[in-house]
């Protein structure tokens, strides 16, 4: 899931208002997660925010200033690679986060370390996800990972982010202590899962490839029963149970939401119990005959 693909390029006032609302909600949620949960317990998040929190703890510097200063170079890189609109939104989001952290008081919600780690991650992940839905980022890690991955073809963006966070949490062991570092990992995992949920929701798109001798019946069931589009690939079977090798057949591909998936699988099983079904998550899809997800 790259932020660049989610940034809107439409000069629609309503769309811009919606984006602004997402960014503001994201800033408030992330700031609440940081100040109401993590800071008092000396836990950190991953990414640039985690680096800022480590430096704030080690050097006794204001967190708001560090978040602003460390993120701005990544926003500048984003301007060159992803455009002015994305960079402007991200600068506003990061500046807003720094401002809220510096000026807005939040209560310390709970002293329990596990609740702090989990719910701090929930609010931070929701904040980052909401900001991304508005076409901005609150943390420059993803920009850096995207740029590095273009030069290191053997590593994906997710691999680079994982490596960066391993370094951050390893440093946290020496600066904050082992227990705080371990709780911080829980925070990071909670934030990552909630961010993914905010971005994709329960209606995440799923690509489904179906290999069956009854491809035409399956195609009709999807197009007429589910009202979804399909693409047919012509392929050959490698080796069948009945010994039929290199038999020509149409391979059906479609994109449905996670909520539509059980019905699709049931239809395919009804038509051909021996059908070979492959399914995999898709970050986003546009065009064609697919169900439009809300807030997207």
Minimum mean pLDDT range among 109-118, 185-194, 257-266, 271-280? 257-266
Instruction: Determine the Cα–Cα distance for residues 178 and 170; give it in Å rounded to an integer.
Output: 9
Per-domain residue ranges of the chain: 3-200, 205-282
Burial tier of 280 (Cβ tally within 10 Å: 0-12, 13-18, 19+): exposed
Q: Which CATH code for domain 205-282?
A: 3.30.70.120
pLDDT value for 197? 84
pLDDT value for 165? 87
Angle at 254 between CA 250 and CA 256, to 5 degrees: 155
Whether 155 has a pLDDT exceeding 80, the answer reads no
Contacts of 255 (CB under 8 A, 6+ apart): 205, 206, 207, 208, 228, 229, 282, 285, 288, 290
Closest by alpha carbon to 237, among 286, 274, 292, 285? Answer: 274
Q: Which tokens belong to 16?
A: 């811009």
CB atoms within 10 A of CB 270: 11
Give the model confidence (pLDDT) of 20-78 as tens digits: 999 999 999 999 999 999 998 999 998 889 999 999 998 989 999 999 999 988 888 87
Q: How far is CA 116 from the centre of its chain?
A: 22
User: Stretch 198-211: mean pLDDT, rounded?
Assistant: 79
| Cα 191 to Cα 85, 183, 185, 199, distances in angstroms | 26, 12, 10, 12
Closest by alpha carbon to 282, among 295, 291, 271, 272? Answer: 291
Minimum mean pLDDT range among 136-140, 255-259, 277-281? 255-259
């Amino acid at each position: 899931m790259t932020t660049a693909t989610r940034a809107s390029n439409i000069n629609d006032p309503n769309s811009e208002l919606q984006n602004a609302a997402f960014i503001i909600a994201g800033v408030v949620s992330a700031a609440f997660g940081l100040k109401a949960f993590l800071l008092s317990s000396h836990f950190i998040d991953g990414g640039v925010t985690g680096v800022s929190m480590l430096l704030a703890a080690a050097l006794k510097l204001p967190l708001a200033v560090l978040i602003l200063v460390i993120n701005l170079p990544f926003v500048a890189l984003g301007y060159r690679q992803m455009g002015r609109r994305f960079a402007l939104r991200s600068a506003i989001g990061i500046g807003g986060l720094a401002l809220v952290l510096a000026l807005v008081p939040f209560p310390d919600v709970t002293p329990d370390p596990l609740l702090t780690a989990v719910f701090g991650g929930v609010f931070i992940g929701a904040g980052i996800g909401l900001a991304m839905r508005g076409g901005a980022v609150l943390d420059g890690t993803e920009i850096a990972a995207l740029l590095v991955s273009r030069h290191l073809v053997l590593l994906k963006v997710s691999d680079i982010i994982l490596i960066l966070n391993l370094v951050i949490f390893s440093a946290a062991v020496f600066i904050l202590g082992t227990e705080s570092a371990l709780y911080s990992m829980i925070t990071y995992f909670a934030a990552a899962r909630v961010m993914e949920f905010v971005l994709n929701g329960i209606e995440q798109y799923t690509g489904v490839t179906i290999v069956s001798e009854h491809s035409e019946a399956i195609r009709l069931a999807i197009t007429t029963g589910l009202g979804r589009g399909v693409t047919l690939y012509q392929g050959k079977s490698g080796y069948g149970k009945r010994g039929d090798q290199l038999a020509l057949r149409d391979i059906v591909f479609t994109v449905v939401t996670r909520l539509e998936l059980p019905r699709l699988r049931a239809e395919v099983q009804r038509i051909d119990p021996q059908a070979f079904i492959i399914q995999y998550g898709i970050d986003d899809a546009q065009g064609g005959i697919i169900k439009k997800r809300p807030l997207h």
